[in-house]
Amino acid sequence: MGLPEDFNAYRSKMNEKIMASDSLIIKRIFNLDTNAYQEGSLDLRTKEMIGLTCSLVLRCDDCVKYHLGKCKEVGFTTEEVNEAMGVATLIGGTIVIPHLRRAFEYWESLQNV
């Protein structure tokens, strides 16, 4: 299943174009974004949980996909991810459910990468 590969390829291609645009504000946001998810007072796992659940309540499919990929990398189990997404769906309401469907599909496809 090609979901993660297609997502990552498009994301990388466009990020390169954005960075090549020499837009100072955008570059600094991207830079800060990279640093913010490094280990600090909070560990990597906690930060990815924050990234995943905030993305879900704000209903951004691409952000959810990105953080699901990172959640897999840092070793979260399906049970942990599902529980976090359950809390986020409760906070954000049933309007989140269509994004939850796509998140489940993406998480499943990540297992086959």
20: amino acid identity, one letter: A
CA distance 40 to 44: 8
74: amino acid identity, one letter: V
On whether the CB atoms of residues 49 and 84 are closer than 8 A, the answer is yes
Please say which residue, 95 or 113, places its beta carbon nearer to a second copy. 95
From candidates 4, 69, 89, 110, binder to a second copy by CB under 8 A = 89
CA distance 23 to 39: 27
- 45 to 84: interface string for a second copy, x by CB under 8 A: xxx-xxx-xxx-xxxxxxx-------------xxxx-xxx
Query: CB-based contacts of 39: which residues, under 8 Å, 6+ apart?
Result: 47
The site for a second copy, by CB under 8 A, has a size of 65
Task: List residues near a second copy by CB under 8 A.
Answer: 10-11, 14-15, 17-18, 21, 23-26, 28-30, 32-33, 35-37, 40-42, 45-47, 49-51, 53-55, 57-63, 77-80, 82-98, 100-102, 104-105, 108
